[in-house]
Amino acid sequence: MKKLFVLLFSLLTISAYAAEAPAEEGGGFKPSDMILHHVADEHKWEFAHGASLYLPVILLDNGQVHVFSSKNFFNEHDEEVAYNGYVVEHGHIYKANEEGEPIEDYKGLYDFSITKNVASLFLSVTLLLIIFCVIARRYKTNAGKAPKGIQSFFEPIIIFVRDDIAKANIGPKYARYMPYLLTIFFFIWFNNLLGLMPGSANLTGNIAVTMSLAVMTLVITLFSANKSYWSHIFATPGVPWWLAPIMIPVEVIGIFTKPFSLMIRLFANITAGHIIILSLFSLIFIFESLAIGPLSVAFAVFMNFLELFVGLLQAYIFTLLSAMYFGGAVEEHDHVEDMGYGDGH
């Protein structure tokens, strides 16, 4: 029932948005505009039509700090307007000229605003801190006793990450990586689930967020790497010396393609899921047919349930691959004796 209520609320939100869509150039409802409106980052958080939270704008313009509410960028008809010499266009703030048009080549303007994704990041981090501080306190007060409540729900998941991901792929040195692996697993999982709620932000579908997570995995991998790891990069055992000009660039490129694949995989899967669900709802307003409506909703319900599984799966895959990269960085290879190439035999 809860899931059906969420879907119904989403449908009503899209319907209201479609009703307000301007009829430009002979068009009424524009699915691409609606989908991008819900997927992209913005300076206001619209929970439903008519219910918006205007977020603070923080600008650094040639050394001068300007702080004001993003509500100033919207008039009474919710249309974007220039304010205080600045204008918003496609979610980005630009310096405006006298006509209120953006100056795209203007230098010296830096945007540190609290956008929808940033606010969602603060919300999810606060939620995680509250939940796991409660769990940690339960472990202290109920030491040696069977877990209860929220502790009993999360303990099997934590043990799964420890035994089936960290221990299995990193080995004896797994303990030092557990805080990071648990953090990214629950951070990605929670934000994937929060992103499916009506009026929520698409945080893990933002490539800047997935890039940050991937870069952290890369940095930890490189700083954990031992002599054996680097010898496989610059002096691959068993490879003839004359292949070094080919093998070394390939191995170095491989260092960066691994986190790149982490970044793209999470971003693409989460964003694609949101776009598919919104596209299915859009069919109702495109065809304006009672025959299409139930079919579209049925497929959207199926996709929504599928996205619940995908949200967990993507958190697992990101954590698993990170653990595998850490394991490869700290693994000891007995057959590596020096940093030089073999004789090719």
Q: Is the domain of 123 the same as that of 109? A: no
Instruction: Kindly state whether residues 152 and 91 are assigned to the same domain.
Output: no
Same domain, 88 and 198: no
Instruction: Flag whether pLDDT at 106 surpasses 70.
Output: yes
State which residues form the domain around 137: 117-330
6 lies in some domain: no
Answer whether residue 105 is part of any domain.
Answer: yes
For residues 322 and 217, the answer to whether their CB atoms sit within 8 Å is yes
Asked if residue 28 has pLDDT above 70, the reply is no
**288 and 311 co-located in one domain:** yes
Give the pLDDT band of residue 260 (cuts 50, 70, 90). Answer: very high
Closest CA to 170 of 313, 325, 314, 318: 325
Per residue in 119-153, pLDDT (tens digit) is: 999 999 999 999 999 998 988 888 778 888 888 89
Percent of the chain with pLDDT over 90: 38
Answer yes or no: is 45 within a domain. no
Looking at per-residue pLDDT, the higher value among 51 and 212 belongs to: 212
Confidence of residue 23 (pLDDT cuts 50, 70, 90): very low
Query: What DSSP letter does each residue of 197-250 carry, written as one string?
Result: STT---STT-HHHHHHHHHHHHHHHHHH--HHHHHHHHS-TTS-GGGHHHHHHH
Q: Does residue 268 belong to any structural domain of this protein?
A: yes
DSSP assignment of 260-318 equals HHHHHHHHHHHHHHHHHHHHHHHHHHHH--TTHHHHHHHHHHHHHHHHHHHHHHHHHHH
pLDDT confidence band for 309 (50 / 70 / 90): very high
Q: Tell me if 335 is assigned to some domain.
A: no
Structure tokens at 131: 């939940």
Please tell me whether residues 128 and 107 are part of one structural domain. Answer: no
Q: Is residue 47 part of a domain?
A: no
Q: What is the pLDDT of residues 183-209, one digit of tens each?
A: 999 999 999 999 888 878 889 999 999
Quote the pTM value: 0.83
> Which tokens belong to 216?
């952290």
Q: What is the pLDDT at residue 333?
A: 64
Whether 132 maps to a domain, the answer reads yes
What mean pLDDT, rounded, does the chain reach? 83
User: 131 and 240 share a domain?
Assistant: yes
* pLDDT for res 334: 59
For residues 230 and 81, state if they share a domain: no
194, 262: one domain? yes
* Same domain as 127, residue 182: yes
The count of structural domains within the chain is 2
Indicate if 105 and 122 belong to the same structural domain.
no
Same domain, 102 and 207: no
Co-location of 248 and 267 in the same domain: yes
20 assigned to some structural domain: no
- Among residues 113, 134, 153, the one where a domain terminates is 113
* Region of poorest pLDDT, from 19-28, 100-109, 113-122: 19-28
Coil, helix or strand for 15?
A: helix
The mean per-residue pLDDT over the stretch 26-35 comes to 68
DSSP state of 167: I
